Structure 1
Amino acid sequence: MSDPLAAAKPSVETGGLLPDKRQVAASFSRAAQSYDSVAALQRAVGHELLASLPTTFVPRRWLDMGCGTGYFSRALADRFPEADGVALDIAEGMLRHARPQGGARHFIAGDAEHLPLTSGSQQLIFSSLAVQWCADFAAVLAEARRVLQLGGIFAFSSLCVGTLQELRDSWLAVDGFIHVNRFRRLEDYQDLCAASGLLPLDLESRALALHYPDLRSLTNELKALGAHNLNPGRPGGLTGRTRILALVEAYERFRQPQGLPATYQVVYGVLQKED
């Protein structure tokens, strides 16, 4: 079996601009202890995805793909108490944190683009805010189709272009470096899902905005989540005080009565395997 953490090859859909999988795994492993304390967005999005599953759908086997700290593995176990669950993540540190808390019967280190699971072995693949880190989403869809049984469902949430646009625009006013993670366009998700051989039951994007008292609160949260800038081309070394002050000034232009906004463009997809 090939190394599931091998460096990602450049992808046609992203122009090779997504981060190396080893960096993703290492970053989220380091964030395992702090992740849950700052994961309000992740909770809200995951619960929205869980609520989007058909009410009559009761799988006997499920996979939480990109399980992180296992929060939604436990939520899936609560919703489907008779089912056999598998929690999978590329970050070993996340799995070490999740395993003692239960939820799934099996905890596996693995890559969504090369699932270490038997074909036709799952009835539900649930993946919330994980596949945006996969350079080859077509491979993710192909693996989901392979692993699902007939009638099985792949439910995912992800992020698309427009996410953290306020932070991106503020950095553009300061310098020309890449400081904010890149994401696919919604149209890329639509095209890839349409070509996947899976039937889209639902595929849409919705904006979700969080507010912060100051810029440091936002950047500290991104670091605690392990979701700070991981893109190729990001600037190395420390960011100088002058540039930080310029960034704060630029971001203040977006301030609202609730605070500084950070907008996330969230993609929700529910796909079914028909044949």
Structure 2
Amino acid sequence: MTAEVIDKQAVAASFSRAATTYDQVAELQRSVGTNLLERLPKDLQAERLVDLGCGTGYFTRALNARFQQPVLGLDIAEGMLRYARSQGPASCAWVTADAEALPLRSDSQQLLFSSLALQWCPDLGQALREAHRVLQAGGHMVFNTLVDGTLQELRDAWQAVDGYVHVNRFMPLAQLQQILASAGFTHWSCEVETHVLHYPQLSALTHELKALGAHNLNAGRPGGLTGRARLRALTSAYESFRQSAGLPATYQVAQIILHKGHQA
């Protein structure tokens, strides 16, 4: 996402409000985060590691279990951190932080893990420069992010109703690859997974997005209540996508591994 279309304060506030409901509806988030975790090199050892954009701490706890080391959970949403802290473990630490200005010493970390968080950064390149700075030589950053084509059905349905931006914009894959190539890492890989969820009714999807804190966060989004007539029109437009399994919602997830090599 770009600085013109994202509001960091809105992101922090929205995810803070969603802290107590997030895990109840985060099946996709757990799935793609688990896929990311499984992409880590099997022989990787790390003693200093960070869960960047840790949210409720689900993967902070998974990283703690895998590496048997304390994990630092960082997130911009204080409400998420309060919830994560209440879930433990006591050996992990939780700090409010912005991925574009990490409160960490240079060359101090061996692994940065981030699942479905960095798409909310106005400047992904700056976040990756910060990641490169804080990683030790030989360290890894692994993250996933949503790319263009995510929630395309919802975007197209709204386009049939009015001209406003109702769905979060996500970065085109080619732009993401350009940013990765220029981030300063020695090696990187990027693979895209397509996930299609199905819902019995449109309201089930919109309620889930709200419970996740991931509903429309674009700057310049339409204000005020959505009129009933427009909602009926949206429901009708979305019905054109219905499949035998229900109404589809497509997510395009880029799974990325970055390696900071040793200088010659």
* TM surpasses 0.5: yes
Aligned 1:22-41 pairs, distance under 5 A? 22-41=9-28
Question: Could you say which residue in structure 1 is the equivalent of 2:169?
Answer: 182
2:48, 2:6 → 1: CA distance?
A: 31
Find 1:89's aligned residue among 65, 75, 82: 75
Q: 2:259 is aligned with what amino acid?
A: Q
Question: Could you say which residue in structure 2 is the equivalent of 1:101?
Answer: 87
1:163 has 2:165 as partner = no
2:243, 2:235 → 1: CA distance?
A: 15
2:165, 2:135 → 1: CA distance?
A: 37
- Alpha-carbon deviation of 1:188? 1.4
- Alpha-carbon deviation of 1:252? 0.5
Q: What root-mean-square deviation, in Å, do the aligned CA atoms of Structure 1 and Structure 2 show?
A: 1.1
Asked if structure 2 preserves the Cα contact closer than 8 Å seen for 1:215 and 1:251, the reply is yes
Question: Could you say which residue in structure 2 is the equivalent of 1:7?
Answer: none
Question: Could you say which residue in structure 2 is the equivalent of 1:10?
Answer: none
After alignment, is 100-109 or 227-236 more displaced?
100-109
Asked if structure 2 preserves the Cα contact closer than 8 Å seen for 1:68 and 1:94, the reply is yes
Question: Could you say which residue in structure 2 is the equivalent of 1:9?
Answer: none
- Alpha-carbon deviation of 1:105? 2.1
Question: Could you say which residue in structure 2 is the equivalent of 1:238?
Answer: 225
- Alpha-carbon deviation of 1:187? 1.0
Identity of aligned residues (%): 58
- Alpha-carbon deviation of 1:73? 0.2
Segments of structure 1 that go 5 or more residues without pairing to the other structure are 1-12
Aligned residues: 261
Segments of structure 2 that go 5 or more residues without pairing to the other structure are none
1:145, 1:74 → 2: CA distance?
A: 24
- Alpha-carbon deviation of 1:53? 0.5
Q: Deviations 1:135-194 (Å, cap 9, x if unpaired)? A: 111111111111001110000000011000000000000000010001111111111111
Asked if structure 1 preserves the Cα contact closer than 8 Å seen for 2:49 and 2:71, the reply is yes
Three-state SS of the structure 2 residue aligned to 1:32 is: coil
Asked if structure 2 preserves the Cα contact closer than 8 Å seen for 1:193 and 1:200, the reply is no
Find 2:208's aligned residue among 200, 221, 234: 221
- Alpha-carbon deviation of 1:85? 1.2
1:210, 1:241 → 2: CA distance?
A: 25
1:173, 1:204 → 2: CA distance?
A: 31
Question: Could you say which residue in structure 2 is the equivalent of 1:121?
Answer: 108
After alignment, is 99-108 or 70-79 more displaced?
99-108
Q: Deviations 1:16-62 (Å, cap 9, x if unpaired)? A: 33321111000000000100000001000100000011111111111
Q: 1:272 is aligned with what amino acid?
A: H
Question: Could you say which residue in structure 1 is the equivalent of 2:122?
Answer: 135
Q: Deviations 1:196-222 (Å, cap 9, x if unpaired)? A: 111334212121111000000000000
Asked if structure 1 preserves the Cα contact closer than 8 Å seen for 2:187 and 2:260, the reply is no
1:188, 1:102 → 2: CA distance?
A: 37
After alignment, is 183-192 or 103-112 more displaced?
103-112
Q: Deviations 1:73-111 (Å, cap 9, x if unpaired)? A: 000011111x23100000000000001222452110000
Asked if structure 2 preserves the Cα contact closer than 8 Å seen for 1:142 and 1:196, the reply is yes
Question: Could you say which residue in structure 1 is the equivalent of 2:59?
Answer: 72
TM-score by length of 1: 0.93
Asked if structure 1 preserves the Cα contact closer than 8 Å seen for 2:5 and 2:220, the reply is no
